[in-house]
A and B are shown apart, each in its own frame.
Chain A
Amino acid sequence: MRWNFVSDRPIYAQIVESMKLFIAGGELAPGGKVPPVRDLAAEAGVNPNTMQRALAELEREGLLRSNRTSGRYVTDDAAVVEAVRLSLAKAETVRFLGAMEKLGYGRADIARLVENFKAGDDKA
């Protein structure tokens, strides 16, 4: 799992976002075990309390569930995972549309560009 942090936003919020991306993208499989807090904190290079706080928030949102004796798991509720995937996709779309609008592209132009886009087109 890749962790990237920007310096001007809370680390806790960025961990929550990264974890959502890992879950939506399948890097953390539905129903799969989540590594221990200490290991995740070491991997991400962050404070263990901050990691703990982010995981608690993901539990609150229903993406993770914790079992007292055996640790934390990713939800196996496909609808919850799909909802996260869709909300991340929408956020990406908003970003993309914003950038395109700044370049003066309308919706129809954007749709045409996306439709006809082939890999390697950007190098031409």
Chain B
Amino acid sequence: MSEIVMECKNLCKSYGGKAALSGLDMEIRRGRIVGLLGPNGSGKTTLIKIANGLLRPDAGEILIDGGPVGRESKAKVSYLPDCLSLPEWMRVGELIKFYAGFFSDFSEEKARAMLKSLGLEDSARFKSLSKGNKEKVQLILTMSREASLYLLDEPLGGVDPATRDYILGAIIANYSESSSVVISTHLISDVEKVLDEVFFIREGRIFLSDTVDNIRDVRGMSVDALFREEFRC
């Protein structure tokens, strides 16, 4: 296994003349939990969609586990979209079977154990769950794969603080030295204790990357404070 799980070189993508990524360079090392931090419209979702093969870059290169994005890389990347994307009519038990059918690295056992700790029954219909529980179910399904790279797009958006704590706890509990987790968010004060390092993205480019403790040590401020300073409107 290579030390670098994801590598981007000069990645470019525009939508009808409007640039979303303009020469993005980034390296994510194995065994890291990293934050992709930037304001709305900075390119976070575009980057994540390119990394899991939902979009194609216009130029530049992206490698997952040393190989190109495609059939093989999709088997190694577990993706949590920034919106609820599961079939509403399914029951929790059916969703587990659905994921198990799609992904050979999916652990039904792990998913069931996590759902059980939340008190969610197999027979519960997805559409009858609260927004917080829907987000939790979707995260559990994403984290129950044995992937090399977990791409979590805004996993904390629109949920209450207790649910945020649950989600962050689940990310820590699933930590593995052989995989990496990318968390895209702008809710920085909630996540910074969980992150090894952060990448600040602006106008489709990484303009600052460092470890959380290095930022605190050298600048004497939290990542959240640095973000507010850098992105002051």
B195 within 8 A of A: yes
Residues in A neighbouring B225, C-beta threshold 8 A: 7-8
Q: Is the CB of B172 within 8 A of A47?
A: yes
Q: Is the CB of B217 within 8 A of A41?
A: no
Given contacts A7-B189, A46-B193, contact A38 B216 (CB under 8 A): no
Q: Is the CB of B216 within 8 A of A47?
A: no
* CB-CB nearest in chain A for B213: A10
Residues in B neighbouring A50, C-beta threshold 8 A: 193, 196, 212-213
* CB-CB nearest in chain A for B215: A10
Q: Is the CB of A47 within 8 A of B169?
A: no
* Secondary structure type dominating chain A contacts: helix
A49 within 8 A of B: yes
Task: Kindly state the separation between the CA atoms of A12 and B215 in the bound complex, as whole angstroms.
Answer: 12
Residues in B neighbouring A7, C-beta threshold 8 A: 189, 192, 216, 221-222, 224-225
Q: Choose from B173, B192, B213, B224 the contact partner of A42 (Cβ within 8 Å).
A: B173
Q: How far is the CB of B228 from chain A (nearest CB, A)?
A: 12
Per-residue CB proximity of B187-223 to A under 8 Å, as 1/0?
Answer: 0010011111000000000000000111011001110
Residue tally, chain A, CB below 8 Å to B? 18
How many contacts between A and B, using CB within 8 angstroms?
A: 63
Residues in B neighbouring A38, C-beta threshold 8 A: 172-173, 175
Task: Kindly state the separation between the CA atoms of A49 and B221 in the bound complex, as whole angstroms.
Answer: 20
Task: Kindly state the separation between the CA atoms of A72 and B65 in the bound complex, as whole angstroms.
Answer: 33
A68 within 8 A of B: no
Residue tally, chain B, CB below 8 Å to A? 25
**Residues from 41 to 84 in A contacting B, C-beta threshold 8 Å:** 41-42, 44-50
Q: Is the CB of A8 within 8 A of B216?
A: yes
Task: Kindly state the separation between the CA atoms of A44 and B32 in the bound complex, as whole angstroms.
Answer: 18
Residues in A neighbouring B132, C-beta threshold 8 A: none
Q: Is the CB of B172 within 8 A of A41?
A: yes
Q: How far is the CB of B163 from chain A (nearest CB, A)?
A: 14
Residues in A neighbouring B81, C-beta threshold 8 A: none
**Residues from 1 to 46 in A contacting B, C-beta threshold 8 Å:** 5, 7-13, 38, 41-42, 44-46
Per-residue CB proximity of B158-169 to A under 8 Å, as 1/0?
Answer: 000000010011
Q: How far is the CB of A37 from chain B (nearest CB, A)?
A: 9
Task: Kindly state the separation between the CA atoms of A13 and B172 in the bound complex, as whole angstroms.
Answer: 19
* CB-CB nearest in chain B for A39: B173
Known: A10-B214, A45-B165, A45-B168. 13 other contacts (CB 8 A): A7-B222, A7-B224, A8-B220, A8-B221, A9-B216, A11-B216, A38-B175, A45-B193, A46-B172, A46-B193, A47-B33, A47-B195, A49-B32
A-side residues, CB < 8 A to B, are 5, 7-13, 38, 41-42, 44-50
20 pairs, CB–CB < 8 Å, chain A vs chain B: A5-B193, A8-B216, A8-B225, A9-B216, A10-B216, A11-B212, A11-B216, A12-B213, A13-B217, A38-B175, A42-B169, A42-B172, A42-B173, A45-B168, A45-B169, A46-B193, A48-B172, A48-B175, A49-B196, A50-B212
User: Sorted from nearest, which 7 A-B pairs have the closest CB atoms?
Assistant: A7-B222, A10-B213, A10-B216, A48-B175, A10-B217, A46-B193, A12-B213
